[in-house]
Structures are given as structure tokens and as C-alpha cells.
Structure 1
Amino acid sequence: MTDPSTDGSWALYKRLLGYLRQDWRVFIVTIVAMIIASATEPLFASLMKPLIDGGFVERDPQTLIWTPLAIVGLFALRGLASFTNDYTSTWLSGRLVMRLRELMFVKLMQLPVSYFDGNSSGRVISRVTNDVTMVTDAGFSVITVVVRDGITLIGLLALLLWTDWQLTLICLIMVPVVGVGIRVVGKRLRKLSRKNQQHMGEMTQVLGETVDGQRVIKVYGGHEHETRRFMVSANGIRQNSVKQIAASSMNTAATQLIVSVALAIIIYFAGVRASHGGFSAGDFMSFLTAMIMLFTPLKRITGVSQTLQRGLAAAESVFTLLDVPGERDSGTRTLERAHGKLEFDRVTFRYPEGERDAVNGFSLDVSPGETIALVGSSGSGKTTIANLVPRFYSPTSGEIRLDGIPLDALTLHSLRSQIAMVNQDVVLFNDTVAANIAYGDSQASRERIIAAARAANAHEFIEAMPDGYDTRIGENGLKLSGGQRQRLAIARAILKDAPILILDEATSALDTQSERLVQGALEQLMLNRTTLVIAHRLSTIEKADRIIVMRDGLIVETGTHAELLAHDGVYAGLYRMQFSAAANPN
């Protein structure tokens, strides 16, 4: 997809136009309108001969009447064809952008978590918002210029050949020279366009981080640092834009110089032939008009290279995203409702860029309804285990089974319908409270939504909001406190009623009062569910059926809270450390 050659460009272009197959009737109307509009120019030039010879030289009154009327009719036809072309091409370009954006968004929903680990959100967003818009430059701006001006050029050249083929040969000398210039500059422009898209993605990334982290920026005085980051990207875009314009302008200027030299030579020889009687005044005027009219479409065609290369570079970016393989879903089996038995059989996992295994030979059997707590220092593999259960990642080796069925034998939809998650970083949507609780179940009744909110200790604060359950909560729930956001996430998990629950640091960022309310909601949520709890705050997992202590991806201790304290091992050391820190906060 990165081949800048003609074959590579044509493959991109052919694929791009393939998305217009459904609208082929409108496309044909557009092309026909282009042809009609472009045909009017050589017809206008051809009217100069009868107008000059018949109207002015021979002074024929009928010619003086019909040629002006013919010119008016010609431009009326041109205006109608141009309007039809502009309207239909704009309609088609809008459809193309919408269709590509839909495909890209659907692809984003299908991409594995690992893709987002390796690609900045700014670049991904830039592809959907900016690159896909530039694709229409390659789609329609270029088609309009190439088809419309191409037919105009062919028509005008045909008229020139008919009028005087010897003079016309001089015009053809410049064609290969112009072609070489277009090819050389085209490669340069494609390279610059790729760089421009990279800088655009980086700028979008900085903008997103600045908006999301504006409180941290204010407190830590990061204004100058973020401004520098932004300006590096913005300046890169500026420099590339200047380079693109310079390359395109140099190509256009050189082409115009070649054309002007050819035009000067033609005018000279046409004048010589007219002086010897081999050329009538009408022939000369028709030839000269066609030559002058030839200059404008030729200029547009030579200048279209920048637009084409920018559009094709954008198309490369769009198709690169569309061609990324989606999540592997080779499973064929489904579960109506799992009992909740989980088995980890010598599971090993290493991240693509990891220097060592994040999980190493992890084996564990979890009974239905059992609460398992995973503890350990950062990097011990706790969150990785939690991410392997819903198959955000697949084990490097080993196997995980649900109710005796290997996870990769289940369809992703069936597997994930058995799981609810509550994370430390709650994700909420800029919608109503009710919509966030019922996310994934738009048919949930208001009674079920309220019941879930009550079970999550959220009903009271929701009722106190301006519009109750119909209150919009802002981007990611910014209008809510941390505890309120957590309780909405718990209500969402309660409403889903999944047999397996994953709690990843669900209370670590809360104050004591909020933690008490959230912990009460979590205890309600955990009833009769197989639960994996990841926690740094050990006081929240004392009631767990089993506590699994991890270090460097390995299980080093297993037992209840009391058993592990009595064992006086790693867990007891962690517990004493936290208890001492809590008792002596200063």
C-alpha cells in the first residue's frame, strides 16, 4: 500500500472508486454532465471561424444573428451541465466520506486491544476525521479535472488538428516534457503528504491530552511544555504545506513556461501562413482561441498532481486502518448462562514488546460463585490475568476454560456476555444517567434501571440531580464525583447480571465515605457471582474466599486473609506495610 508508483496509485484509486458501486447511476450522470460541459469549450472555439469569416469578412447578416445565439445557447447548456456535475459530485463525495467513516468506525470496534496499545488515539482520530476527508480530493476533485479538462483538451486538440495539423504538432512536443515533470513532482508530493498526516495525528494527540489533562497542566504549570509540543506538530504541518505548495508551484510554472514558448512559436508561424493566404482570418481566430483555451485546462491538469497525491496518501492511511485484522474470533460454541467455573491451566503471556513474561505458568481453579482476590506489587501480572478472561489478549501458551470449555472455542460475543467489569478508571458516556446504567441493554425498563441504581447505592444522588435519571452527565461523567461515577459503573454491572465479575482497583481512588458506599454496592453485586478482585488496598479483600499473591507473573502464596497473616509471608508483609502507612499518614 505504500508503493508510490503508477501501479500502486492506480490500485488505490481503483479500490477507492469501488466504494461507489452502489451509486453507479449517479456516477454516470456526473460523468455525462462533465462530458457535456467540457464539449462546449471546443464548440465555442469552432464558432469563431464562421463568426469572423462570415460575419465580419463576408458581412453575412444571417451569420451575425445565428452565431451570437449559438454562443448564448452553448453557455446555457454549459451552465446546466456544470450545475448537474457540481451537485452530483458533491453528493457522491459526501456518500463516499460517510461510507468510509462508517467502515472505519466499525473496524475500530473490531480491532484488538493490542492495536490501541501501539497506536496513539490522536493518530487514530485523525484518520477518521481528517484523512478520510482528503480522500475525496483523490475521488472527485481529480476526476472532475481529469475527465472534464481531459475531454476539453482532446476536443481542442482535435479542432487544432482539423484547422492546421502542422502547427498542432508543435503543441504535442511539450506533452512528454510535462508528463515527466508531473511524475517526479508526484512522488515528492506523496511523501510530503504522508509526513503531513503524521504531524496532524501528533497535533490531535497533544490537543486531546491537553483537554483531558487540563487540571494537571494548570496545577503543575505545564503550559509552556504543552505549547512547545503543540507548536512542534503545528510547525511541521506548516513546513510540509509550504514544501507541497513550492513543489506544485514549480511544476506549474515550468509547465506554463513550456506552453507559452509553444504558443509563441505557433502564433508566429500562424501569422506567417496567414500573410501568404494559406490561413483565413477565421482560421487564425479559431486556432488562436483554441490555443488560449487549451492553456487553462492544461494548467489545471498539471496542478492536480498535488491534490491527487494528497488524496492518495490519505487513502493509503484509511486503507491501512481498514486492512488491520480484527479480533480473532474462531470460536463456534455459545453459552446461554455460564455457571462460572474458571480454570487457568499453565497460562503464560508476554506482551509484544515485553522483555519477560507478564504471566508465567499461572494455574488456578475457581469454583462458581467464589471470590478470588489477586494481590501483589505493580507489574506482578494481576491486571494481565483479568484481561485474559474476556480475551482482550490471548495466552502465549496454556489454556483458560469456562465451565470446562476453552475460551477460544467460545464466540467472543457469547464469552463477553458472561462477564461484567468495574475498573478504577470508569468509562461513562456523554448521555443520560439511565442510558449509562442501561448501556448494552437499550431495552431495559425504567424499573430495572432504578432497581440496579438502588442496589448500587446510587438512587439517592441520582434523584437529587436536576433531571433525575434523564440528566446528562457530561463527557466521561465530569459532572459526577469519583464515588458517584463508580456507583453508576456498579449499577451498570448489576443490570447486566453476568455470572462472572471482574473488579480492577474499583475502590482505590475513593475517600473513606465513598469507599464505604461503593464497597456496600460491590458486596451486593458480588453475591452468587464468580468474582476476580484486583486490589492494592488489602482491607477491601479481607472477606475474599481466597487470596492469590503474585510476583513476577507467578503465584507465590494462596489462602484466606487469616491463613496468609498466620503464614507471615509476602501477604503479611504487604498488609503490615499498608496498616503502618494508614496508621501513620504523616
Structure 2
Amino acid sequence: MSLFGMLVRTSHTRLAVAIGASLVCGLANVLLVALINQALNAPLDGLASYALPFVLVIALVMGSQVLSRALFAYLSQQGLATLRMHISRHVVAAPLRGLEKAGRGRIQAALADDTTTLSNFFTGFPMLVTSAVVVLGCLGYLAYLSWVIFLVSVLAIGLGSLGYHLCHSHMLQYFRKAGASQDELFGHFDAMVSGAKELKLNRSKARRFLDEVLVSAVEQVRRNRAKGLMLFAITGGWGRLLFLILIGLVLFLRLWVPSDTAVITGYVMVFLYMMGPLEGVLLNLPQMSQARVASARIEATLAQLQAETCSQTPAPAVQAKGVTLELNGLTHGYFSEREDEVFTLGPVALTLKPGQITFLVGGNGSGKTTLAKLIAGLYVPESGEVRVDGRPVAAQERDDYRQLFSAVFSDFHLFDTLLEAPDSSLDSQAAQWLSKLHLDHKVSVSNGSFSTRELSQGQRKRLALIVACLEGRPVIIFDEWAADQDPAFREVFYCELLPELRAQGKTLLVISHDDRYFHLADQLIKLERGQIVSR
């Protein structure tokens, strides 16, 4: 189903009422024009009979206009919320590799800019419908007054539409380029915030980032959008010129063809009245084009975020004790920018047992984190199989399989709440862990929410460890956890926390460079260029 179809289905009743109100508003405007024209040409003694119809038509115009705009404003915001939740669900359900390929900038642009563009189209839709009805109604009224003037008017509008059509494809091309440039711009905005420390420490780097990188990206978006809107402005000017020429022809037609002044006045008044709605239609056409581009970009992004095949069974209950994981011939390949070639991990044959600490060691780029993500089910193996307590994991069970794991990766994210099911004992358990890791003077937990996350990197990592342990999963992965800790907390981690978790029967995988603690491992696995070289 298309995005527009999805939005229509979610609020079809309100949408129908809003469109109906817009149609009534347009027809009432046409009726008002006809009423004014008749009143202008009515004899003085009959003018009073037009007062009540005039008041009723004005009330109908205002009431229908307010109703349509209010409903479309509501639908616009509801559509914005629906689209953002729709995209967010795809992001959460997408494979990790798909998210990495799509990129943070593209996803943020879809959630922020493209959805807003579609929402703005809904906001302007009542004006588009009303204006279109007014233009069609005025043309119908012209046909009633004079078929010749009607045909000349249609010819003028046709020539204006032809000019718009000739420019339309170029406008779309510029809007698409602007959208692609904006993805890159969002990436630079993210880099500007994430790299604020580095930019402040290097003035010349900050200047080059602003004056070269950011200015170039901003300029590309500005240039492409400006060109598209300039083409639209030229097209709109061409259409307006044709209408003014048409008015001039009607005005000066009396020089060659005898005509009733009252009838000519009616023509001119209809033309002048019709120009505003016609411009309203033309003004909303770029929004329609931008909405089409935004919709296509969102759908292309969602196509990259195809959800994994998952079983529809309820989430499995959390197991308190560890499980045995067997990896048989697992392989996974991806393009490594560092090596400028496809990096292949495996085939890997490995067994992780409950109540056992496995250290995964090796140089940078050897594939340790990739293997950890493969073990955790975040990456899909290209070949081989994974067994849990002797039972193979099927493709549709991969999401259930991931629920066995908690992990603290080197690029971890710390949410401001524990996001666990309500549990009266959760706060007290968290308080015990905070005290154990010497964070109780910095952070407290109330109703599953942290009082602050404004901590050092090492302290944030300790907080992430607490979150992982409170999840109660049977398998825990620590990716270079001790790298940001001082010597005292490294000692606590390796000599106290890991043995404690092992005693609870957890299956533990620890990525580490701390060779002074390697002797504490029950199993030591060394990787080099994606291959296990020793164990």
C-alpha cells in the first residue's frame, strides 16, 4: 500500500468530510460571483431581494472554509504522527545491516523533512480543492454567459498548463536533487553536533568544516530548490500573463464587435475573481510535486529497511540461567572501507557454554565486534548454523533468538529509562548495582527512569552495564567495556563482576585487549582477519 493510501485509510471519514466541505466552499464561491454579478446589473427596486441570499452564501462560504481547513489541519498533524510511527516501526524491525546501509542521515531526513513535506501538502489541500472548484465553476459560468469567451478562456488556461507541464519534469528533477543533497546535509548536521569537541579544539578544522563542507552542502540544497521554485514562478507568471491578455481582449472587443457593457463587466469580474483561485492551484502544485518526491524517498528508504521474517509468537520468557550456543561454519562478508575490499568473517566454529567466560581477542579490524553481532543475531550469517542447547535457530526465529542477549557494545546507546515491564523491585535492584559500581552519588532510579545521563563516558558505560544485568538475559556480551574505565574499575570488572555473573550461570562473551586479565578466561579465542587462529 502507498503512503497516501495508508493515510487515507487511517482517517477516511474525516477526509471525506473535509473534501466535501472544500467542494461546498468552492461551489459557494462560484455562486457568490454569480450573485454579485446579478446584483450589479439588477434594477434599484429589486436590489433588496439579493441581500438575504448574499448573507446566506457568505455564511456558507465561511462555514465550509473553516470546517475544511480545521479538518485538514487535524489530518495534517495526524498524518505526520502516523508517518513517523510507520517509519519508526520499520526502523525498529529492520536488520542492523540495512540500517547501516541506509545511513543515519537518510533515516533522519525521512523522519523529519520528508514527513513534514507530506504533512504540509495536506495542510494546503483544502485550498487546492476549493480553488480548483472555483476555477471550474467560473468556467462553467462563462460558458453559460458566452461559449466563445469560454472557449477562449479554456485555450488560455490550456496554454498556461502546457507551459507548466513543460517545466514540471525539470522542477521534479531539481526537487529530487535537493532531497538527495539534504540527506548529506543531515549527515553533516549530525557530525557538527557529535564532533563539537573536536571542532572546538581545532579552529582551522572548524572553519573549514563550516566554510567548505557545510556551506557546500547547504548551497546544493538551496540551489536545487531555488531552481525548481524559479521554474514554477516563471510558469505562474506565464499563466497570469495569458489571463491578463484575455481580459484585455474582452475589454477591447467592443472596438470591433458591439457588446453589452454589463455582459463585458461580468466577464471581466469573473476573470479577475478566477485569477486568485487559479494562482492558488498553481501555488499548491509545487507542494504536490514535493510531496510526490518526499513520498518516493520515504518508500525507497523503507524498501532498504525491509523487516526480517519473524514468527508471530509472543516473545519468549526470559531465562535466568545461561544457554549453550554452538556456531557451526558461520560466515559473513561485508565491504571494508578500511581495506577497500570485501571482508569475510569465518567460517567460525565455536561453542559458548553457561557459567563460562569466553574472551574474544585480536587486533583492530580482525572482526571481533562483527563476530559478536553475528553471535547475537544482529547480523545474518551467509552460511552455517547456530544452535541453542542443541536446537538449530531457523530464520523466522532469529528475533526470538536475539531476546537471549544483553550487550554493551563500544558504540552503545543509553536510554533515559530502563524500558522494562513494570516491576516494583526494579528500582531497588538498580540501586544495589549503582552502589556496587559507585554511581549512587551520581544517579538514582525512580520508576525505571534515571535521574541523569550527564556522566563521563566511563560512568555511562557502568550505567549501561547495570541496564544489561537488570535485563536478566542468559547471554551477555561486553565489547571493550573496560576500555574507558580507570584501573580500579577494570579490576572490579574482571575480578568481581564477571566471576559473579559466571556464578549466576550466565553465558559470557567479553571482547578485550587487557592481556593482563586473559588468565581469568575459561576460553580464549583469538581472531586474525576474520579467522580463529587459536583458542
Q: How does 1:305-316 map to 2 (within 5 A)?
A: 305-316=285-296
Residue 522, structure 1, aligned to residue 498, structure 2: yes
Q: Check 1:356–1:42 CA distance in 2 against 1; reply closer, same or farther (3 A cut).
A: closer
Answer whether contact 2:361 2:526 (CA < 8 A) is retained: yes
Q: Corresponding residue for 1:398? A: 384
Q: Distance in 2 between matches of 1:457 and 1:410?
A: 41
Q: How does 1:120-519 map to 2 (within 5 A)?
A: 120-141=103-124, 143-221=125-203, 222-228=205-211, 229-269=213-253, 272-273=256-257, 276=258, 279-330=259-310, 336=317, 337=319, 339-351=322-334, 355-408=341-394, 411-429=397-415, 431=416, 435=417, 439-445=418-424, 447-455=425-433, 458=436, 460-462=438-440, 464-465=441-442, 472=450, 474=452, 477=453, 479-519=454-494
**C-alpha RMSD over aligned residues:** 2.6
Deviation at 1:505, TM superposition (A): 0.8
Q: How does 1:53-64 map to 2 (within 5 A)?
A: 53-55=41-43, 59=44, 61=45, 63-64=46-47
Deviation at 1:266, TM superposition (A): 2.2
Answer whether contact 2:356 2:502 (CA < 8 A) is retained: no
Q: Distance in 2 between matches of 1:473 and 1:226?
A: 35
Letter in 1 for 2:169: K
Deviation at 1:181, TM superposition (A): 1.8
Residue 33, structure 1, aligned to residue 21, structure 2: yes
Q: Check 1:448–1:132 CA distance in 2 against 1; reply closer, same or farther (3 A cut).
A: closer
Q: How does 1:564-583 map to 2 (within 5 A)?
A: none
Q: Distance in 2 between matches of 1:64 and 1:327?
A: 68
Deviation at 1:17, TM superposition (A): 4.3
Q: Corresponding residue for 2:57? A: 74
Mean CA deviation greater in 46-55 or 29-38:
46-55
Letter in 2 for 1:442: A
Q: Give me the identity figure in percent.
A: 20
Answer whether contact 1:456 1:490 (CA < 8 A) is retained: no
Structure 2 unaligned residues grouped into runs of 5+: none
Q: Distance in 2 between matches of 1:293 and 1:180?
A: 22
Q: Check 1:44–1:204 CA distance in 2 against 1; reply closer, same or farther (3 A cut).
A: same
Deviation at 1:314, TM superposition (A): 1.0
Deviation at 1:410, TM superposition (A): 6.3
Q: Deviations over 1:354-382 (max 9, x none)?
A: 73443122112333322221111112222
Q: Deviations over 1:167-196 (max 9, x none)?
A: 222112123322222222221222222222
Q: Deviations over 1:440-467 (max 9, x none)?
A: 423232x3443355356546432x2376
Deviation at 1:541, TM superposition (A): 2.8
Q: Corresponding residue for 2:515? A: 538
Letter in 2 for 1:525: L
Answer whether contact 2:98 2:305 (CA < 8 A) is retained: no
Is the partner of 1:441 in helix, strand or coil?
coil
Deviation at 1:265, TM superposition (A): 1.5
Q: Check 1:515–1:456 CA distance in 2 against 1; reply closer, same or farther (3 A cut).
A: farther
Q: Distance in 2 between matches of 1:73 and 1:318?
A: 45
Answer whether contact 1:373 1:541 (CA < 8 A) is retained: yes
Q: How many residues align?
A: 524
Mean CA deviation greater in 178-187 or 44-53:
44-53
Give me the TM-score of the superposition, normalised by structure 1: 0.83
Answer whether contact 1:41 1:156 (CA < 8 A) is retained: no
Q: Distance in 2 between matches of 1:363 and 1:218?
A: 47
Answer whether contact 2:102 2:301 (CA < 8 A) is retained: no
Letter in 2 for 1:534: I
Is the partner of 1:358 in helix, strand or coil?
strand
Answer whether contact 2:525 2:534 (CA < 8 A) is retained: yes
Deviation at 1:81, TM superposition (A): 1.4
Deviation at 1:98, TM superposition (A): 1.0
Deviation at 1:272, TM superposition (A): 5.0
Q: Distance in 2 between matches of 1:374 and 1:291?
A: 79
Structure 1 unaligned residues grouped into runs of 5+: 1-10, 559-586
Q: Check 1:159–1:426 CA distance in 2 against 1; reply closer, same or farther (3 A cut).
A: closer
Q: Distance in 2 between matches of 1:366 and 1:103?
A: 38
Is the partner of 2:377 in helix, strand or coil?
coil
Q: Distance in 2 between matches of 1:271 and 1:71?
A: 34
Q: Distance in 1 between matches of 2:133 and 2:239?
A: 19
Q: Distance in 2 between matches of 1:105 and 1:417?
A: 20
Answer whether contact 1:450 1:459 (CA < 8 A) is retained: no
Q: Distance in 2 between matches of 1:159 and 1:241?
A: 38
Q: Which of residues 5, 8, 11 is equivalent to 1:23?
A: 11
Answer whether contact 2:445 2:451 (CA < 8 A) is retained: no
Deviation at 1:223, TM superposition (A): 1.4
Q: Check 1:357–1:205 CA distance in 2 against 1; reply closer, same or farther (3 A cut).
A: closer
Q: Distance in 2 between matches of 1:425 and 1:50?
A: 74
Letter in 2 for 1:268: F
Is the partner of 1:173 in helix, strand or coil?
helix
Mean CA deviation greater in 451-460 or 168-177:
451-460
Deviation at 1:414, TM superposition (A): 2.4
Which structure is larger by alpha-carbon Rg, 1 or 2?
1
Answer whether contact 1:486 1:518 (CA < 8 A) is retained: no
Answer whether contact 1:194 1:313 (CA < 8 A) is retained: yes
Q: Distance in 1 between matches of 2:327 and 2:469?
A: 26
Is the partner of 1:39 in helix, strand or coil?
helix
Deviation at 1:349, TM superposition (A): 1.3
